[in-house]
Amino acid sequence: MGVLRVALDVPLPTLFDYLPGPGIEAAVGDRVVVPFGTGRRIGVVVEQAAESTLPRERLKPIEAVRDDAPRLDAQWLALMRFLAGYYQRPLGETVVAALPPRLRALRPLPSTADLVLRLSANAPSDLPRAPRQRALLDTLRAGPLAENALLTGEPQDRPKVRAALRRLIAAGWVEVTPEPPAANRVAGGTRFVAEHALNPDQSAACTDVRDTLGRYDAFLLHGITGSGKTEIYLNLIAELIRHGDQALVLVPEISLTPQLEARFRLAFPETTLAVMHSGLEQGARTAAWLAAARGEAAIVLGTRLAVLAPMPRLGLIVVDEEHDSSFKQQEGLRYSGRDAAVYRARLAGCPVVLGTATPALETWFNSEKGRYRRISLPARAAPGAVLPRVHTLDLAAEPLAHGIAERMLEAIDARLARGEQSLVFINRRGYAPVLACPACGWAAGCTRCTAHLVLHAADRSLRCHHCGAQEAIPRNCAVCGNVDLRALGRGTQRVEETLAARFPGARIARIDRDTARRREMLARTLDDIRRGGADILVGTQLLAKGHDFPGLTLVGVLNADAALLSTDYRAAERLFATLAQVAGRAGRRERPGEVMVQTRYPRHALFAALARHDYAGFAAAQLDERRQAGFPPYVSEAMLRAEAKRLEHAIAFLRYALEQAEAPDAVTIYDPVPQLITRRAGLERAKLLVQSDSRARLQAFLTTWTARLVAAPAALARRVRWHLDVDPIETD
Ligand code: ADP
Ligand code: ZN
Ligand code: ZN
């Protein structure tokens, strides 16, 4: 009888050996309950071995095998092994954290999760009037669902939804089957409703990718904003699911998914679509995961975590807006959802399509090297839609009103007169970023962070955007007592105020994280804007991505310069991407758009490239700088960060790490330094950078190094929290 090696969520880089236990048959991929220490834990069997290194009598038996979810397949386990290895985390932690929380719990799923509801043959074709019954039938029309997946509303509404469901079952319109549908077939239909006939560029792109279905290949779909990339994804997926395969579509932000999700549902009215993001209620999240793992969901649409869902017949992966930084997880397993997707495509033997108007420089570099095949869509797809005209306004030469160029205000006025929409983009929320004393130079700062407090006008508070601390606005200067404190700089609230004073009759909508705290609220506001419910939009990058506002013809950009002066070498890349994205919101229909960027550096090469819509030129110049300076993608990096109550403790740990490093020739380790924002939420932070021009050698080095760090003396380790960030996208 063999030994089962189980991955457990404990911070030890090892597997744990167990025996099968009487009457228990467990195999690789099973979720199992095992005794551990004085308690019990859930884990996943990842290996089977003939013998253990421990004597047999010390091995304990497995207590139970969970059969409430499908066995995890070999491809999924291989992905987990890759992620754990590449990002230097224990396999157990990686495997268990990749499961939805309910499948990590010791308690098995309630059996209702296994009850699958489906529309019966005698369901009426015209829907009943009762709104809840109507909504339920409408949802089930898309395909069978677990009960939990139907109970997604507010908790207090659930009894009523259950009652409505019972009435539908009693009427014989909905059937309950205890067994999940056979896992080898997609639930629902595969009917595809195309929005448009593809244009020649789109058709060519589709053909290129379609030819690779069934084997690994990686594509960069470089298409300008509005070039019809989404339409290409939909066409490819239509082809794929006709063969019974599954498609995985990753998107950056939760706020983006409602509109995209609606588009997918319209295109595939009968297909089971699983939506996955961290904002979902637990029941719905589990149901979506199960639908993917059982192969019922033909399409899985989600944020980066969806790349971790098992999909037995995965045939295509799309990463939309692949350049977006939200694909990188910033805690725990610090993985890149995009890079994981490419690796996963290799494992699955299927194509992966990375789509964007402004590729990450790493991705562009890979396409230049031929590792990714590049497909270009240089024109907008909608008839008559052209790219907006982009120009700069020289802050040194333009008359300003409250920090906004007069010419920009006049341009907004002209849009108001024509009944068109304007968007004023400023990447900073709140009223003003600094409250300062002009007499002595004091500025309100956060006591727990190395940061200024941001003035918020709505509730007259000072808030820290790093730790969330909040306090009342002081009456006078904390140092000299001066009562004449000044708000310096501007954020969205102040811009809104300025615009409201200047255009009293205009309807102004402000969109930032303060006004869009809840996902549904944001979705509703965006919908309202799309239907013309606002004349002027003021917003942060929440407004930059993916939205389609038909009436928008002017975009004004306010504080672009901060990024040009940044010490972060990625700042220019991000600014270009953000500006190209916001610019892409303008003139998406017949009426041409215009973009005005006010700046002190009107002749900066970045703006010139933006005005030419020349991503390739911009990327070439950036890559040249990166190559000369020895930055990624020409080198691979890892960042070791440590935080402690006292800075010297964080530094001491990093010094120890430096001493422990026996770096091979190809690996460079820099000295520990304090982070730029040294204190955050009361902790002092430091970092240490590791670079190499060989990814493989860096990996080998990190593996031995991490093992030593894990074993650091308790006296050092106790005082700090540390993590290793492989391929960091934050330079701090
Ligand atoms: P992207 O994803 O590249 O931003 P979309 O797929 O959203 O582009 O398309 C942009 C706009 O162009 C949408 O309104 C879409 O309906 C329209 N569109 C896409 N393909 C075509 C086409 N072949 N003919 C006409 N309009 C199209
Ligand atoms: Zn003062
Ligand atoms: Zn703070």
Question: What CATH number has the domain bearing residue 100?
Answer: 3.40.1440.60
Band of residue 498 on the pLDDT scale cut at 50, 70, 90 = very high
Q: Which atom of ligand 1 approaches the CA of 382 most closely?
A: 26
219 and 341 both lie in a single domain: yes
232 and 351 both lie in a single domain: yes
292 and 420 both lie in a single domain: no
Place of tokens 């970045």: 606
Which pLDDT belongs to residue 281?
80
Residue 713: which residues within 8 A CB-CB, separation 6 or more?
A: 656
* Ligand positioned closest to the Cα atom of 468: 3
Q: Phi and psi at residue 557, in whole multiples of 5°?
A: -110, 125
Q: For the domain that residue 712 is a member of, what is the CATH number?
A: 3.30.70.600
Residue 66: which residues within 8 A CB-CB, separation 6 or more?
A: 30, 31, 32, 33, 42, 103, 108
* Ligand positioned closest to the Cα atom of 683: 3
Q: How far is the CA of 679 from the centre of ligand 3 (A)?
A: 8
**CB of 205 within 8 A of CB of 212?**
no
Q: Is 196 in the pocket of ligand 1 (CB under 6 A)?
A: yes
Calpha distance 219→648 (Å, rounded): 47
Q: Phi and psi at residue 509, in whole multiples of 5°?
A: -115, 125
Span 651-665, pLDDT tens digits: 999 999 999 998 778
* Ligand positioned closest to the Cα atom of 471: 3
Structure tokens at 423: 């968007």
3-class secondary structure for 173-191? CEEEECCCCCCCCCCECCC
Residue 413 has pLDDT above 50, yes or no: yes
- The residue contributing the CA closest to ligand 1 atom 20 is 228
Q: How far is the CA of 180 from the centre of ligand 3 (A)?
A: 49
Calpha distance 415→535 (Å, rounded): 8
317 and 412 both lie in a single domain: no
- The residue contributing the CA closest to ligand 1 atom 14 is 382
Q: Is 188 in the pocket of ligand 1 (CB under 6 A)?
A: no
Q: Average of pLDDT values for 111-124?
A: 70
Boundary residue ending a domain (51, 73, 104) = 104
Q: How far is the CA of 516 from the centre of ligand 3 (A)?
A: 21
Query: What is the DSSP code (8-state) at residue 197?
Result: P
Q: What strands, in cross-sheet order, belong to the sheet with 273-276?
A: 273-276, 299-302, 246-250, 314-320, 351-356, 217-223, 373-377
Q: Which residues surround ligand 2, an ion (CB under 5 A)?
A: 437, 439-440, 442, 477, 479-480, 482
Span 614-626, pLDDT tens digits: 999 999 999 999 9
Band of residue 438 on the pLDDT scale cut at 50, 70, 90 = very high
601 and 675 both lie in a single domain: no
155 and 210 both lie in a single domain: no
Q: Is 382 in the pocket of ligand 1 (CB under 6 A)?
A: yes
The answer to the question of residue 641 being in a domain is yes
Calpha distance 146→118 (Å, rounded): 9
**CB of 559 within 8 A of CB of 428?**
yes
Select from 196, 237, 590 the residue to mutate for testing ligand 1; criterion: most ligand atoms less than 8 Å from CB. Answer: 196
The percent of the chain in helix, strand and coil, each rounded to the nearest 5, is 35, 25, 40
Angle at 318 between CA 315 and CA 324, to 5 degrees: 155
Which pLDDT belongs to residue 147?
73
Calpha distance 133→168 (Å, rounded): 7
204 and 77 both lie in a single domain: no
Query: What is the DSSP code (8-state) at residue 3?
Result: E
- The residue contributing the CA closest to ligand 1 atom 5 is 228
Band of residue 166 on the pLDDT scale cut at 50, 70, 90 = confident
Q: Is 195 in the pocket of ligand 1 (CB under 6 A)?
A: yes
Short-list 489, 509, 486, 487, CA closest to 404: 489
- Among 175-179, 328-332, 688-692, the minimum mean pLDDT is found in 175-179
* Ligand positioned closest to the Cα atom of 233: 1
Q: For the domain that residue 402 is a member of, what is the CATH number?
A: 3.40.50.300
Q: Is 225 in the pocket of ligand 1 (CB under 6 A)?
A: yes
Q: Average of pLDDT values for 17-32?
A: 93
The answer to the question of residue 481 being in a domain is no
Band of residue 169 on the pLDDT scale cut at 50, 70, 90 = confident
Count Cα atoms within 13 angstroms, Cβ side, for 604. 21
Calpha distance 192→271 (Å, rounded): 9
Q: Is 198 in the pocket of ligand 1 (CB under 6 A)?
A: yes
Q: How far is the CA of 467 from the centre of ligand 2 (A)?
A: 25
125 and 62 both lie in a single domain: no
- Among 271-285, 308-322, 500-514, the minimum mean pLDDT is found in 271-285
Residue 76: which residues within 8 A CB-CB, separation 6 or more?
A: 29, 310
Q: How far is the CA of 703 from the centre of ligand 1 (A)?
A: 46
The answer to the question of residue 496 being in a domain is yes
Boundary residue ending a domain (43, 74, 104) = 104
Q: Average of pLDDT values for 45-71?
A: 93
Residue type, 63: E
Residue 182 has pLDDT above 50, yes or no: no
Which pLDDT belongs to residue 183?
41
* Ligand positioned closest to the Cα atom of 439: 2
| Dihedral, 607, 609, 612, 617 alpha carbons, nearest 10 | 180
365 and 503 both lie in a single domain: no
Which pLDDT belongs to residue 107?
86
**CB of 92 within 8 A of CB of 43?**
yes
Q: Average of pLDDT values for 305-333?
A: 96
708 and 647 both lie in a single domain: yes
Which pLDDT belongs to residue 713?
95
Short-list 642, 628, 663, CA closest to 712: 642
641 and 616 both lie in a single domain: no
Calpha distance 124→392 (Å, rounded): 60
Q: Which atom of ligand 1 approaches the CA of 546 most closely?
A: 4
Query: What is the DSSP code (8-state) at residue 541?
Result: G
Calpha distance 352→217 (Å, rounded): 6
Residue 179 has pLDDT above 90, yes or no: no
Residue 718 has pLDDT above 60, yes or no: yes
Q: Is the full-model pTM beyond 0.75?
A: yes
Structure tokens at 37: 């220490």
CA end-to-end distance (rounded Å), the chain? 52
240 and 339 both lie in a single domain: yes
- The residue contributing the CA closest to ligand 1 atom 12 is 382
Span 133-154, pLDDT tens digits: 888 887 777 667 777 667 766 6
- The residue contributing the CA closest to ligand 1 atom 17 is 382
Which pLDDT belongs to residue 303?
95
Q: Is 584 in the pocket of ligand 1 (CB under 6 A)?
A: no
* Ligand positioned closest to the Cα atom of 228: 1
Which pLDDT belongs to residue 142?
65
Short-list 513, 529, 524, CA closest to 427: 513
Q: How far is the CA of 452 from the centre of ligand 3 (A)?
A: 8
Q: Is 202 in the pocket of ligand 1 (CB under 6 A)?
A: yes
What is the span of the domain harbouring residue 664?
A: 636-726
Q: Is 199 in the pocket of ligand 1 (CB under 6 A)?
A: yes
Comparison of pLDDT for 25 and 11, the residue scoring more: 25
DSSP H or E segment with residue 84 = helix 74-86
- The residue contributing the CA closest to ligand 1 atom 25 is 382
The answer to the question of residue 191 being in a domain is no
Q: How far is the CA of 477 from the centre of ligand 2 (A)?
A: 5
Instruction: Give the count of domains, the chain.
Output: 5
Select from 199, 203, 231, 582 the residue to mutate for testing ligand 1; criterion: most ligand atoms less than 8 Å from CB. Answer: 231
Q: Is 223 in the pocket of ligand 1 (CB under 6 A)?
A: yes
Q: Of all residues in the chain, what percent carry a pLDDT higher than 90?
A: 73
Band of residue 592 on the pLDDT scale cut at 50, 70, 90 = confident
Q: Which atom of ligand 1 approaches the CA of 232 most closely?
A: 6
* Ligand positioned closest to the Cα atom of 482: 2
Residue 607 has pLDDT above 50, yes or no: yes
The answer to the question of residue 701 being in a domain is yes
Select from 203, 230, 321 the residue to mutate for testing ligand 1; criterion: most ligand atoms less than 8 Å from CB. Answer: 230
* Ligand positioned closest to the Cα atom of 464: 3
Q: Which atom of ligand 1 approaches the CA of 199 most closely?
A: 23
Which pLDDT belongs to residue 148?
66
**CB of 378 within 8 A of CB of 199?**
no
Q: How far is the CA of 227 from the centre of ligand 1 (A)?
A: 6
Calpha distance 423→421 (Å, rounded): 7
Q: Is 230 in the pocket of ligand 1 (CB under 6 A)?
A: yes
Pairing relationship of beta strands 400-401 and 404-405 according to DSSP bridges: antiparallel
Cis? peptide before 633, omega within 30° of 0: yes
**CB of 310 within 8 A of CB of 292?**
yes
Q: Is 226 in the pocket of ligand 1 (CB under 6 A)?
A: yes
Q: Average of pLDDT values for 377-387?
A: 88
The answer to the question of residue 665 being in a domain is yes
Residue 522 has pLDDT above 50, yes or no: yes
Span 191-226, pLDDT tens digits: 999 989 999 999 999 999 999 999 999 999 999 988
Span 229-267, pLDDT tens digits: 999 999 999 999 999 999 999 999 766 667 788 899 999
Q: How many CB atoms lie within 10 A of CB 662?
A: 10
* Ligand positioned closest to the Cα atom of 203: 1
Calpha distance 692→701 (Å, rounded): 10
- The residue contributing the CA closest to ligand 1 atom 21 is 381
Q: Of all residues in the chain, what percent carry a pLDDT higher than 70?
A: 95
Q: How far is the CA of 387 from the centre of ligand 2 (A)?
A: 49
DSSP H or E segment with residue 389 = strand 389-394
**CB of 456 within 8 A of CB of 462?**
yes
The answer to the question of residue 469 being in a domain is no
Q: How far is the CA of 437 from the centre of ligand 3 (A)?
A: 20
Residue 280 has pLDDT above 90, yes or no: no
Residue 121 has pLDDT above 80, yes or no: no
**CB of 202 within 8 A of CB of 176?**
no
Short-list 582, 572, 702, 586, CA closest to 629: 572
Question: What is the residue-averaged pLDDT of the chain?
Answer: 91
Residues recorded for the chain: 732
Residue 638 has pLDDT above 70, yes or no: yes
Q: Is 229 in the pocket of ligand 1 (CB under 6 A)?
A: yes
Boundary residue ending a domain (104, 134, 156) = 104
What is the chain's alpha carbon radius of gyration, rounded to the nearest angstrom?
28
Calpha distance 396→219 (Å, rounded): 44
Band of residue 383 on the pLDDT scale cut at 50, 70, 90 = confident
Q: Which atom of ligand 1 approaches the CA of 224 most closely?
A: 3
Residue type, 711: A
The answer to the question of residue 131 being in a domain is yes
Calpha distance 540→427 (Å, rounded): 5
